[in-house]
Chain A
Amino acid sequence: MNIVVCIKQVPGTTDIKIDPETNTLVREGVESIINPFDTYALEEGVRLKERCGGKVTVISMGPPQAEEALRETISLGADEAILISDRAFAGSDTWATSYVLSRALTRIADYDVIICGRQTLDGDTGQVGPELSEMLGIPFVAYVSKVEEISEGYMRVQRMVEEGYEVIEMTLPAVITVVKEVNVPRLPSLRGMAKAKTTEIPAWTAEEIGADGDKAGLSGSPTRVVRVFFPQRTHKSEMLQGSLEEQLDQLIEKLEEII
């Protein structure tokens, strides 16, 4: 079973700052982490490998420093990691990112399951997984909370929905995105950390994956971030005071006003 996990390096959650001039994330001096949702994707990939053998390859499109995040995935159980990096990819939106990843996967060619996190912490769109499957022309299931069964060319999963879950069968290869209910990611291992230090992480350029420059990067992105802002608070809250009975009376009075 060849499993490919797509990850993104994102700024650590605690100290996100937005440049008021450009409306973009301030990345300088901010600690970078593996997108938390992607750690569940990686763990699920490693568990599938432990279940039915095979190999876990992690890919990430990003600047050269994303190599650090890829190296970390080796310590967490991945067998190989590939960085997809080229100046031409800078400013890619989800569409352009999915295009670049689909080109990289076309070069990898031999894959059975592609696993992504449900969304990223910084972009929050959750679009790359589904777009990727469209571009590769293979089945897609989002919000997977459990892989029930997997065998040659076949997978059955549980997809989380608002009230419970759905059971979905698909043929392989396929793309799934996973939710955090799917597993508890492991911590790195000492052997894995030693391996991570020495593993060579190749960097593939636009040319090497045969990516069309017009479809990647800012120029290949059909969407633009025009403005990033905190929405104005439109709700007002009021704390009711007094005894429980008094509070109830006030509440009823207010509800009657509305009705």
Chain B
Amino acid sequence: MEYFLTEQQKLIKGLARRIAEERILPVRAELDEKEEFPWAIVKDMADADLFRIFIPEQYEGLGEGCFALCIAVEELSRACCGIALTYAADGLGAMPILLYGGEEQKHKYLPDIASGAKLTAFGLTESAAGSDAGAIKTTATRDGDDYIINGTKQFITNGGEAEIYTIIALTDPTKGSRGASAFIVEKGTPGFTFGKKEKKMGIRSSATRELVFHNCRLPKENLVGREGMGFIITMKTLDSSRPGVGALAVGLAQGALEAAVAYARQREQFGHPVSAFQAVQHMLANMAMELEAARALVYAAARTIDSGAKKFTEEGAMAKVFATDMAMKVTTDAVQIFGGPGYMRDYPVEKMMRDAKINQIYEGTNQVLRNVIALELLRRKALRE
């Protein structure tokens, strides 16, 4: 398909592919096996300026948008979804500062994020607040010119490895979600430590960890936007980042499809390569069709965001849900085409299948996002009547 990439976007795609093939591919199985954070590859991505893509030029970035970021994420995920997630989650952590940060905050944090010197993470989820994000318990109590943070964030991607965290805490617990605010917390701030390191089914080279706040004192300069804006910031951040999750899924499925095609051509049964059997051919054809449809939807959603549209909740949700459901199906079918060997860790497709599952869960489960999409549809219908 022709997606009309600009020269710069083609360069980004080519460079991300080189990192994926030359640096990620040789180590992806080992990092997955050892559950090891990919620091050497983060350094390669930083050297190649990949962290600059989504940062505006005045903060040492390249000023490209969501679409260019999606292209890079897709290429990285084609080799390893876990490593690509580390990169994508950095964009997520930076998003609240990008969207709602004050000029001083942007100048203080964005250049280091752009150079890749500092990774970021976004902290919303808690043990009792997943899809029901309004149920968070972490508090930020005003004390003179400071805020005192208390509580524990769970399942935070890049947790422990990132230097800069944007977290959501209640400044006014009586107001529920309207009493939430966003804060920037730097690693090393007294009272901010890391808890349980999760052992995961897939994306095992990415870091997932608890953030523990115990009387953690932050100056009021670390508040993003105004008090009470926490949930608006959260929603806008997630709306903006969901095409990126779609891109993770598209890249992952692309890798799985390529592996399945290559294997089907060389695996012989009944005296023929299994690719000669129509049952396998139809599976491959379905995988390719659904993958391309998801890619087109992800790209369209990303371009809608880049167009300067004010509202893109529905578009982001559609791209994320469709692409991640597709990736689960395509990676499962890839394992099926490999047969017995596909289930073994000697081949890459079982990892892809394990990696796929989380994409249907994080950044809004595909169920809660279907609610979001339906709500938008019904709201529009009601408005017309």
Contact = CB atoms under 8 A, between A and B. Distances in A.
A114 B53 CA distance: 35
Interface in B296-318: none
A193 B48 CA distance: 10
A187 B53 contact: no
B44 interface: yes
B15 interface: yes
B89 interface: no
Contact of A189 (B8, B22, B23, B47): B47
B259 interface: no
A126 B163 CA distance: 46
Nearest to B60: A191
Interface in B15-61: 15, 18-19, 22-23, 44, 47-50, 52-53
B280 interface: no
Contacts of B48: 186-190
B50 A190 contact: yes
B12 interface: yes
Interface residues of A, number: 8
B286 to A, nearest CB: 35
A190 B11 CA distance: 7
A79 to B, nearest CB: 17
B50 A186 contact: no
A71 to B, nearest CB: 14
Interface string A171-206: 000000000000000111111110000000000000
A193 B11 contact: yes
Interface string B3-16: 00000100110010
A189 B45 CA distance: 9
A188 B15 CA distance: 8
A192 B15 CA distance: 12
Interface string A240-257: 000000000000000000
B62 interface: yes
Contact of B19 (A187, A191, A192, A193): A187
Contacts of A193: 11, 15
Q: Max chain A CB contacts within 10 Å: which of B22, B47, B53?
A: B47
A191 B62 contact: yes
Contacts of B53: 190
A186 B44 contact: yes
A191 B52 contact: yes
Q: Max chain B CB contacts within 10 Å: which of A188, A190, A191, A193?
A: A190
B44 A189 contact: no
Contact of B62 (A186, A187, A188, A190): A190
Interface of B: 8, 11-12, 15, 18-19, 22-23, 44, 47-50, 52-53, 62
The 10 closest A-B CB pairs, nearest first, are A190-B49, A189-B49, A186-B47, A187-B48, A191-B49, A189-B48, A187-B18, A193-B11, A190-B62, A189-B47
25 contacts: A186-B44, A186-B48, A187-B18, A187-B19, A187-B22, A187-B23, A187-B44, A187-B48, A188-B15, A188-B48, A189-B48, A189-B49, A190-B11, A190-B15, A190-B48, A190-B49, A190-B50, A190-B52, A190-B53, A190-B62, A191-B49, A191-B52, A191-B62, A192-B49, A193-B15
